[in-house]
A and B are shown apart, each in its own frame.
Chain A
Amino acid sequence: MIEQFDAIVVGAGMSGNAAAYTLASQGLKVLQLERGEYPGSKNVQGAIMYANMLEKIIPDFRDDAPLERHLVEQRLWVLDDTSHTGIHYRSDDFNEAKPNRYTIIRAQFDKWFSRKVREAGATVLCETTATELVRDGNGKVIGVRTDRAGGVVFANVVVLAEGVSGLLGTRAGLREMPKPETVALAVKEMHFLPEEVIGQRFGVKGDEGCVIEAVGTISRSMAGLGFLYTNKESISLGIGCLVSDFAATMESPSALLDAMKNHPSIRPLIAGSEVKEYAAHLIPEGGYKAIPQLFGDGWVIVGDAAQLNNAIHREGSNLAMTSGRVAAEAIIKVKSRNGPMTKANLALYKTMLDDSFVIKDLKKYKDMPALLHTNSSNFFDSYPRLMSHAAQNFMRVDGTPKIEKEKNTTAAFINARSRWGLVSDAVRLALAWR
């Protein structure tokens, strides 16, 4: 097939669908390739989906998108081996007409999004892996080779929305392969329970949902995060830690997940559930400093493939959707003034993205990944243990004078980490957070 498209989008995840939808709905001739049997069959997410970023693409998505629960409560737990210390935030304000955040199930959500892309006029080819970028004599990307017989397809611009472990961009030398210390490996299970049981256990009714994020000894001194997200009839439960930490500790991810499920604070929440899937996926964690060159002659990179992921707030799908939409808008602008898809013209994508929350947020936390990576045993083991010790000391009534209790708590912190260590961690954390 020698057919020329305005744009080829590689991947039908969050970023690819946002890009393909935006391009096709403006009348561009779009081909989208997805290696999975159906969109979503290769994708894994927690998954919290942020309404605002989807609304900017499909304003009335609430009418028919497969949404699980809208979130009214979020818990942040610091765990040691037997306890959790937590902050819970719950507000009835989240029970609004157009809720702000929802849980979703990616396989279902991606199928829906892909249907919208088709309806907007794009050609979507599933079960098709793009294997190589095709370039002209000057190095400009002019299409992709696929694993279909005779499968070279051409376009003025290629949108690489291939996700964190995409092969095309790295093989073509457009970007580096992620390093073990800039990606986390997450494992996740789907635990099924009746809707009412989930409602009772998490204190929510109807479509309301609650999520728990957990740090502490469950990650065994590795930089990591555990999560429990309520869906309508299931709980998504998982944990992710840096690949470099996994390699150094040789911990088994599935054993880590099992241990997390056995934690006394978590076990009762999933008791009696039926597990129907076990999944694994990488998450880009390198932040601002790991963002590659985003555009070139005939190509742009969006979403996880460009490391556009905010690990601190565990936001990724919204950055993916936004970068996909912004890239598409830039392409549309270039095309509308009859400009060729050159590096100079596509720089517009970077300019527009720099101006969005995507780059602003990642810039804000540019020093966090390095801090957490080099200090993981303090942040993920010592401090959680100390916090639990302090809380227990505070709550246990045993005739010890309060002044002694306070001294005891302070001494425990200093013993574990030294005054200097505590102050320097606090300062570094504050600077990185700023």
Chain B
Amino acid sequence: MTIAVTKVRVEDKLYQNRYLVDSGRPHIIVRPHDKPSANLLALTYVCPAKCYELNDKGQVEITADGCMECGTCRILCEKGGDIEWNYPRGGFGVLFKFG
């Protein structure tokens, strides 16, 4: 009963989740860019699954495997053309056991 709540890395949190990854068919794509827009940059912090990361060249990349399909990045970045957002094919993606 004494385990203190400690900081857990997002990766470890996602490890608890069930996913059916559609290999080779990512459902979200970041459009090529030189310099990320403010909203795209914000996603490197704001995506709850930490799917967005900055690479060496200062561009934002996505690895959508841990995506929880919340839609936050779509709301922030689809309109401005930073990303292309789709649902994974039927049956694929995150599978909440409790939700």
Residues of A within 8 A of B (CB): 35-37, 40-45, 47, 105-108, 110, 126-129, 146-148, 164-165, 167, 177-180, 183, 185, 187, 189-190, 234, 236, 243, 246-247, 250-255, 258, 261-262, 267, 270-272, 275-282
Shortest Cβ distance from B19 into chain A, in angstroms?
11
Shortest Cβ distance from B69 into chain A, in angstroms?
6
Residues B50 and A254 in contact, CB atoms below 8 Å apart: yes
Please name 19 further chain A to chain B contacts, defined as beta carbons within 8 Å, in addition to the given A106-B99, A267-B5, A271-B2, sorted by A numbering: A37-B95, A42-B94, A42-B96, A45-B99, A47-B99, A129-B87, A129-B90, A148-B90, A165-B71, A167-B86, A177-B79, A185-B46, A185-B48, A246-B72, A252-B10, A252-B50, A271-B3, A278-B13, A278-B68
- In chain B, positions 35-76 with a C-beta closer than 8 Å to chain A are 38-39, 42, 45-46, 48-50, 68-72, 74-76
Residues A252 and B46 in contact, CB atoms below 8 Å apart: yes
Across the interface, which residues of B come within 8 angstroms of A44, CB to CB? 96, 99
- In chain B, positions 1-44 with a C-beta closer than 8 Å to chain A are 1-5, 7-8, 10, 13-14, 16-17, 20, 38-39, 42
Residues B75 and A250 in contact, CB atoms below 8 Å apart: no
Shortest Cβ distance from B61 into chain A, in angstroms?
18
A107 to B95, CA, bound (A): 9
> Which one of B3, B48, B75 contacts A179 once the chains associate, using CB atoms below 8 Å?
B75
Please list 5 pairs of residues, one from A and one from B, whose beta carbons are closer than 8 Å in the complex, sorted by A's number: A42-B99, A252-B45, A272-B3, A276-B97, A278-B17
Residues A278 and B1 in contact, CB atoms below 8 Å apart: no
A252 to B9, CA, bound (A): 11
Residues A247 and B46 in contact, CB atoms below 8 Å apart: yes
Residues A35 and B5 in contact, CB atoms below 8 Å apart: no
Shortest Cβ distance from A1 into chain B, in angstroms?
16
Shortest Cβ distance from B48 into chain A, in angstroms?
4
Shortest Cβ distance from B21 into chain A, in angstroms?
13
Interface residues of B, count at CB 8 A: 45
Nearest chain A residue, comparing its CB with the CB of B5: A261
A185 to B75, CA, bound (A): 10
Across the interface, which residues of A come within 8 angstroms of B69, CB to CB? 42, 165
Across the interface, which residues of A come within 8 angstroms of B99, CB to CB? 40-45, 47, 105-107, 110, 277, 279
A178 to B85, CA, bound (A): 14
> Which one of B39, B42, B70, B97 contacts A281 once the chains associate, using CB atoms below 8 Å?
B70
Residues A247 and B42 in contact, CB atoms below 8 Å apart: yes
> Which one of B5, B14, B90, B96 contacts A106 once the chains associate, using CB atoms below 8 Å?
B96
Residues A243 and B79 in contact, CB atoms below 8 Å apart: no
Interface centre among A45, A148, A234, A253, by most chain B C-beta atoms within 10 angstroms, is: A253
Across the interface, which residues of A come within 8 angstroms of B2, CB to CB? 271-272
Residues A247 and B96 in contact, CB atoms below 8 Å apart: no
Residues A278 and B14 in contact, CB atoms below 8 Å apart: yes
